[in-house]
């Protein structure tokens, strides 16, 4: 074990809600420390994020102390020793020190204890096995400090064993590497992930979705996805062909345009060539309705965008709305090679910033006045007129609108006579 001072300036640890919770639990012979990602992030100079706490106190004692201090306590996973404390609207997941006595998939039979070393050794990666006490001292039993410094994501103990305990660790390996790692993935861990890839089939779609969407917005998403594809892991997850080059292009385009990384756009670039792909991926990862619709829209004839003129682009923007239009253009751009210097693709992408589609100005009354009866015919004539208005490039002059209305009404009249 090694111990080093925490960062000199760590107000998130020494004041506010975190300090209060630690003080509450560090009394009457018990000890508590912040563990996991918050410690890793702090050492990397990043925002701590969610703050998890480990303690020697048993769950019922954590609940008792919280109640006496007026802090809300929720037994979110009390069978596994986890209680969520809510202090000043900030949740803290507090878990009693544990060691696994038996593991099976994502579940484990655990025993509570007071051994910080064993608790650290049951975690996934060395950089997640660190803990920091209320005095700011970092405790390292697994070599995590060196791995944080090297930005190396490495399994604690035997990689094959750790993966067999929980196959989700395969995805976490790549996701954590994409977010915090540097260079190639740790070779021993990478090969163990390949050997254990069949175990991904045992995981729920919801868990796969969560990890994949987090991975895709990480800083190193492109390289991580390529490593996963090379190891036969992405194909197993998506059930089809994956496209790592368009993913890299999508990431470059987002950065060039100053856009926030979008997990949905990046997933489309990686997996969707046609709408059938969108449906398959949505089923495999159990995407939300909104995510499914977004992928389906992006995959719908995106290839036509390469030959779109300005008028065609305006009509598509009118039909799809700004968000759907923008995402489909970006997918088309990424699949066309993703040349960030392309003035034509940039113009298409930025069209919603420069042009707002007008509302269709003709109303039902205009056609009733022209003798169209209310009912199905009225709905049909409105559709015909709107199509003609779009084809004429959104005219708003009275004469042009009257001509469109006259022609649509006359066509309906002819159709009804025949």
Domains of the chain: 1-150 (3.30.460.10), 157-238 (1.10.3090.10), 243-357 (no CATH), 364-417 (no CATH)
Torsion angle defined by CA atoms of residues 170, 175, 178 and 184, in that order, rounded to the nearest 10 degrees: -10
pLDDT of residue 186: 97
Question: Rounded to whole angstroms, how far apart are CA atoms 292 and 283?
Answer: 9
**pLDDT in the model for residue 88:** 86
Phi, psi of 185 (to 5 degrees): -60, 150
Q: Which residue has the tokens 């996934």?
A: 124
- pLDDT for the residue 8: 63
What pTM did the predictor assign?
0.88
pLDDT at residue 308 in the model: 86
Dist CA 126 CA 154 (whole Å): 6
Distances from the Cα of 81 to the Cα of 63, 74, 100, 111, 118, angstroms: 11, 12, 12, 9, 15
Q: How many CB atoms lie within 10 A of CB 216?
A: 25
Question: What whole-number distance in Å separates Cα of residue 72 and Cα of residue 91?
Answer: 9
d(CA 246, CA 285): 20
What's the confidence (pLDDT) of residue 338? 84
Whether 260 and 305 have beta carbons less than 8 Å apart is answered as: no
Cβ pair 200, 236 in contact under 8 A = yes
The pairing of beta strand 90-96 with beta strand 2-5: unpaired
Exposure string of 78-92, with b = 16+ CB inside 10 Å and e = fewer, is: beebbbbbebeeebb
Phi, psi of 107 (to 5 degrees): -105, 155
Cβ contacts of 49 within 8 Å, gap of 6 or more: 37, 38, 41
**Which are the contacts of 374, defined by CB distance < 8 A and separation ≥ 6?**
364, 368
Mean pLDDT by 10 residues, the chain (418 residues): 60 90 95 95 92 96 95 90 92 90 57 92 95 93 96 97 96 97 97 96 94 97 96 90 95 96 97 94 95 96 90 96 97 92 93 94 95 92 96 96 95 72
pLDDT of residue 79: 83
Q: How far apart are CA 169 and CA 282, in angstroms?
A: 22
Rg (CA), the chain: 28
Number of Cβ atoms within 10 Å of the Cβ of 360: 14
């Amino acid at each position: 074990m090694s111990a080093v001072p925490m960062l000199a300036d760590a107000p998130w640890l020494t004041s506010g809600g975190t300090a209060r919770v630690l003080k509450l639990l560090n009394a009457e012979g018990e000890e508590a420390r912040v563990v996991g990602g918050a410690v890793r992030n702090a050492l990397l100079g990043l925002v701590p994020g969610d703050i998890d706490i480990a303690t020697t106190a048993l769950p019922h004692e954590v609940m008792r102390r919280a109640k006496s201090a007026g802090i809300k306590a929720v037994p979110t996973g009390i069978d596994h020793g986890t209680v969520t404390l809510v202090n000043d609207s900030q949740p803290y997941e507090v878990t009693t020190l544990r060691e696994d006595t038996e593991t099976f998939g994502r579940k484990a039979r655990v025993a509570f204890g007071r051994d910080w070393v064993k608790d650290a050794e049951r975690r996934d990666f060395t950089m997640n096995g660190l803990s920091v006490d209320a005095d700011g001292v970092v405790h390292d039993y697994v070599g995590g400090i060196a791995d944080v410094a090297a930005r190396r994501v490495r399994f604690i103990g035997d990689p094959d064993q750790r993966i067999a305990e929980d196959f989700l660790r395969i995805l976490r390996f790549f996701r954590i590497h994409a977010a915090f790692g540097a260079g190639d993935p740790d070779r021993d861990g990478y090969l163990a992930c390949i050997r254990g890839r069949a175990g991904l089939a045992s995981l729920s779609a919801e868990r796969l979705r969560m990890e994949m969407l987090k991975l895709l917005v990480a800083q190193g998403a492109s390289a991580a996805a390529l490593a996963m594809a090379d190891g036969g892991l992405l194909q197993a997850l998506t059930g089809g062909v994956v496209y790592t080059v368009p993913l890299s292009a999508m990431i470059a385009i987002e950065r060039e345009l100053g856009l926030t990384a979008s997990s949905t756009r990046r997933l489309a670039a990686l997996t969707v060539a046609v709408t059938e792909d969108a449906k398959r991926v949505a089923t495999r990862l159990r995407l939300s309705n909104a995510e499914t619709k977004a992928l389906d829209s992006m995959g719908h004839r995106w290839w036509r965008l390469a030959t779109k003129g300005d008028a065609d682009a305006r009509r598509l923007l009118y039909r799809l709305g700004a968000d759907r239009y923008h995402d489909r253009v970006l997918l088309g751009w990424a699949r066309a090679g993703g040349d960030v210097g392309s003035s034509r693709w940039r113009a298409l992408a930025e069209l919603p910033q420069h042009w707002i589609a007008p509302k269709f100005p003709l109303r039902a009354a205009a056609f009733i006045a022209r003798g169209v009866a209310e009912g199905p015919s009225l709905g049909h004539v409105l559709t015909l007129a709107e199509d003609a208005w779009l084809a004429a490039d959104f005219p708003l002059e009275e004469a042009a609108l009257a001509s469109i209305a006259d022609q649509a009404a006359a066509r309906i009249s002819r159709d009804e006579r025949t």
